[in-house]
Amino acid sequence: MHAKTIPEDLANARAEFYRRIGQLSLTPLWEVLGALVPPSPRPTAAPAIWRYKEVREHVMEAGRLITAKEAERRVLILENPALRGNSSITQSLYAGLQLILPGEVAPAHRHAQSALRLVLDGEGAYTAVDGERTTMRRGDFIITPSWTWHDHGNLGDEPVVWLDGLDIPIVRFFDAGFAEHARQDSQQALRPEGDALLRYGNNMVPVDFHQTSSEPTKVFVYPYAKTRESLLGISESDADPHFGHKLRYVNPSTGASPMPTMGAFAQILKKGFETRPCRSTDGTVYVCLEGEGKAAIGDQSFDFAERDVFVVPSWQMLQLRAASDTILFSFSDRPVQQALGLWRQEKT
């Protein structure tokens, strides 16, 4: 409600009324309506960037202070500076940098929360999902859908770091979180590496396999080599003024997002390209996989380089400029908002 001047005795009567009804856990809507039903989104999340060259040494220091097994997951959470203490990068999403050292195992567990990984640094690690391993290569996009068993390990000789994206705040919002530890740290291999891609990832699926659009894909790895091939292959054609060349990852058997709660995207911006400003209601986490550039987010501006992570809160105008050929990965809660009829985008 707008602050109007009202007679003092009326103001006192109201205040006394609020106090009295407060004892019955009642509160007047008219004092909060404007904040509850704003004319446009007012995200509490702030634009922010985590520069890999600054955070890497701290991720490595965590590796000297705690083992992957003791930590269960050795992760430094990327906490939005305006949401400290919430383990959130946006209102609905969690992100973190996970480290696994040579010889280590992050023991098998499963949970209601869905996770995605984007491999940033190092070689030789694997993730196993429901009995199948996949080698983690830089830029690979790997998913562990809700309630799938997953463990990570490092068979190589260098530290491996990836970005985790989870729907932790969404599941927390619904108070719908469950989790379980497996009896064994590493899952028994039920299928050879590559099996899921062969069965579900080659524009074919098993003959009697059908899914609804809310089911996650069985394709749990989207190799960067394929993503890159597509982006580079189309990059000489006309660019979209707002997105450059931008593709979304799909569940190939439904066309929906790989998992129901998080959508993921990859785009290429050629050297010197500047996108026109655009905003959408899905707060989005970006990762620079190749190249470098500048991201203008609302009234702030960030220079980004390879492996940097930055966050664009809901309804903040985003304008990207590529200083060299640049490939960006991004993820958001877009499929949730679309399923609920809430998602909006504005191009200017």
CA–CA separation, 235 vs 269, rounded Å?
Answer: 8
State which residue, 102 or 298, has the beta carbon closest to ligand GTQ.
102
Residue closer to ligand GTQ, measured from CB, 167 or 290:
167
Min separation Cβ 166 and ligand GTQ, Å:
6
Q: Which CB sits closer to ligand GTQ, 111 or 245?
A: 111
CB of 106 to ligand GTQ, least distance (A): 6
For residue 82, give the nearest of 293, 298, 295 by alpha carbon.
298
> By C-beta, is 231 or 309 nearer to ligand GTQ?
309
Q: Which is nearer to ligand GTQ, 181 or 276 (CB)?
A: 181
Nearer to ligand GTQ, 97 or 327 (CB): 97
| Nearest residue to 125 via CA among 101, 150, 107, 96 | 101
Q: In one letter, which amino acid is 110?
A: R
Helix (H) or strand (E) holding 134: strand 132-135
First to last CA, the chain: 31
Nearer to ligand GTQ, 150 or 307 (CB): 150
Token readout for 191 is 């299928």
Of 245-304, binders to ligand GTQ (CB under 6 A) are none
Q: How far is the CB of 314 from ligand GTQ (least distance, A)?
A: 22
Minimum distance from residue 323 beta carbon to ligand GTQ (Å): 30
320 binds ligand GTQ (CB under 6 A): no
Number of residues that bind ligand GTQ (CB under 6 A): 9
At position 324, the amino acid (one-letter code) is S
Helix, coil or strand: residue 260? coil
- Token digits of residue 107: 């023991």
Instruction: Output Rg (C-alpha) for the chain, integer angstroms.
Output: 22
Quick one: which of 28, 49, 32, 100 has its CA closest to 293? 49
As measured in angstroms, the least distance from the Cβ of 168 to ligand GTQ is 7
Using alpha carbons, select from 161, 166, 163 the residue that is nearest to residue 59.
161
Please report how close the Cβ of residue 232 comes to ligand GTQ at its closest, in angstroms.
30
Cβ pair 197, 219 in contact under 8 A: yes
Per the document, the length of the chain is 348
The minimum distance between CB 31 and ligand GTQ, in angstroms, equals 38
**Minimal distance in Å, beta carbon 82 to ligand GTQ?**
20
Within a 13 Å sphere around the CA of 249, how many CA atoms are in the beta-carbon half?
31
The residue type found at 63 is: G
> How far apart (Å, rounded) are the C-alpha atoms in residues 279 and 273?
18
Site string for ligand GTQ, 68-107 (x = CB under 6 A): -----x-x--------------------x-x---------
| Cβ neighbours for 64, distance < 8 A, ≥ 6 positions apart | none
Residue of minimal CB distance from ligand GTQ?
A: 164
| Closer to ligand GTQ by Cβ: residue 145 or 263 | 145
Residues 115-154 touching ligand GTQ, rule: CB under 6 A, are: 115, 150
Q: Please give the residue ranges that form the binding site for ligand GTQ (CB under 6 A).
A: 73, 75, 96, 98, 111, 115, 150, 164, 166
